[in-house]
Structure 1
Amino acid sequence: MAALDSSMQEGLLVDRAWFGRQGIESTAVDYYLRSGKIESLVHGLYRKPGPPLKWQQVVYSLIVLGHDVHVGHLTALSYHGYEHTLKLGVAQRIRLYSTRSLPSWVGKVDIGPGFIKMKRNLFPDGSIGLINVSFGTWDWPIPYSSAERAFIELASTLETREDILQAKLMLEGAANLRPMLLQSLLEACGNIQTKRLFLWLARTIGHPWYKHIDISRINLGTGKRQVVSGGTLDAQFLITVPKEVQDGQQEPLF
């Protein structure tokens, strides 16, 4: 039992391959199962018996099992204190970014509120704008998007008038974003529409940090982009945006 006790922490989810890397043979795993030292959650996934799982334990376990994942988008914005603008009473699924497909067991483990794997990879340098947040008894480091990165991630998924107005409400409360980090993130971001939409929101709101962003260093591409249908064309960033939001630099879309 010494090998199991010393290597498998409470709350960690592991598979047979993980046991093998710890030098624990398959026959020993079967013994631990029969004796109740570990339990099977779904086929091929194990943990020590204990209290109900938390979603952070699932995320850290993915990292231990070799997945490059981080918590981002609305989940990270909630961690950074912007949850008061989210819909009250609605359980938000955990937004995860991963460089590859997540194992099927992520959707089978009985844990609320569940996970969403975000599809768009915005940053070729995956580590830019990430922070580690300690969790649990062992201070497990879980990568989260900084508020700056999370707002850009949010901008990448805005498709409707309601989405944009909600994002604007959230960004209005973000007076303390760091312009140097935003500059680095926007220069590294590979999605043209996302950058234009974030910068439009930032300009419209007018936080002081926006004035410190050097737009000339950011690749914004060419041509017009339609974000919302029937909207107004912004003359600077050449995207269609909701008519309700005006700051003097929109023009009718003919």
Structure 2
Amino acid sequence: MNTMKNGTKIRNLFTGWVPGGVYSSRWLREQGYSYSNLQVYRRSGWLQALGSGAYTRSGDDLQWQGGVWGLQTQLNLPIHVGGKTAIEEAGYAQYLNLGKQKVYLIADPDTKLPTWFRKTNWNAQIEFSESNLFSQFSYSNQKQDQSLKTVSFGKLDILYSTPERAILEYLDWVPEKHSFQEAHEIMENLTSLRPKLMQGLLERCHSIKAKRLFCAIANKINHPWFLKLEIDKIDLGSGNRQLVSGGEYDSKYKITVMDRNE
């Protein structure tokens, strides 16, 4: 009878298992799978352990998307794929990645990645940052947050920044992680940003640098959507901002940037 019960449990587990997904030990225990159950499944070759905190199904292709899916769906961490990775996914990146993919993960302040995620070799360069770039969005209502979208990898649904949100996340890391040249070229590609969503994000964004840089570049490029923004409703701060010594000064938005031709 006990053998039959155990057989039913393992069948139920794998019937609903999302291919490529990483399942947290805590979530599995909450579903009624004890530590001893999981050890039996591991010794039997059905599961593979990632440290002491998570499992994958034996034979599944382990990729970073499965790990992020686990963070979002199993642990409900307020984390999403953003910045340049989201820009690349949307098809707006200017240059192809050489070598390992760089994945930008962005989370609310005080969010900690579990040990199993940090110590797993994802065959990608994970760039994790805690950010208060925007007024806090409700991650419990992520699907209603228009600045985030779902990207599917097989049956793995992962939250990404929309291009509108991703470009501000990207610009907040210029020039520390990204160049002025690339920023300008990416902005040139952003021909179809949604003015209403962009307006709301600019009003909620806490980074004066990112907002001024966005406006300065967008003003030069003069996309049709930029003309629909209400710049006077956006807090651009006061005083000058100098991102580079001896650069080009934009008097309208009071910011010094690198000349894109240099």
User: If the TM-score is normalised by the length of the shorter chain, which range does it land in?
Assistant: 0.7 to 0.9
Structure 2 equivalent of residue 199 of structure 1: 215
Within 5 Å, give how 1:12-51 maps onto structure 2.
Answer: 12-51=21-60
Within 5 Å, give how 1:63-212 maps onto structure 2.
Answer: 63=72, 64-83=74-93, 85-87=94-96, 89-99=98-108, 100-126=111-137, 127-136=145-154, 138=155, 140-159=156-175, 163-212=179-228
Q: TM-score, normalised by structure 1?
A: 0.87
Closer/same/farther in 2, CA of residues 7 and 25 from structure 1, 3 Å limit: farther
Q: TM-score, normalised by structure 2?
A: 0.85
Q: Identity of counterpart residues, as a percentage? A: 34
Q: Return 5+ residue gaps in structure 1 as ranges.
A: 246-254
Aligned letter for 1:130?
Answer: L
CA RMSD of aligned residues (A): 2.0
- 2:52 counterpart of 1:52: no
Please list the CA deviations of residues 54-82 of structure 1 after superposition, one character each: whole Å capped at 9, or x if unmatched.
22111111112221211111111111112
Aligned length: 242
Range with greater deviation from structure 2 (172-181 or 103-112): 103-112
Range with greater deviation from structure 2 (38-47 or 57-66): 38-47
Counterpart contact for 2:100–2:125, Cα < 8 Å: no
Counterpart contact for 1:11–1:57, Cα < 8 Å: yes
**Which structure has more RCO (C-alpha within 8 Å, separation ≥ 6)?**
2
Q: Tell me the distance in 2 between the aligned counterparts of 1:74 and 1:196.
A: 19
Deviation at 1:6, TM superposition (A): 4.0
Structure 2 equivalent of residue 224 of structure 1: 240
Closer/same/farther in 2, CA of residues 163 and 61 from structure 1, 3 Å limit: same
Deviation at 1:216, TM superposition (A): 0.5
Q: Tell me the distance in 2 between the aligned counterparts of 1:57 and 1:24.
A: 20
Deviation at 1:43, TM superposition (A): 3.2
Please list the CA deviations of residues 31-63 of structure 1 after superposition, one character each: whole Å capped at 9, or x if unmatched.
111111211132332111013212211111111
Deviation at 1:160, TM superposition (A): 6.1
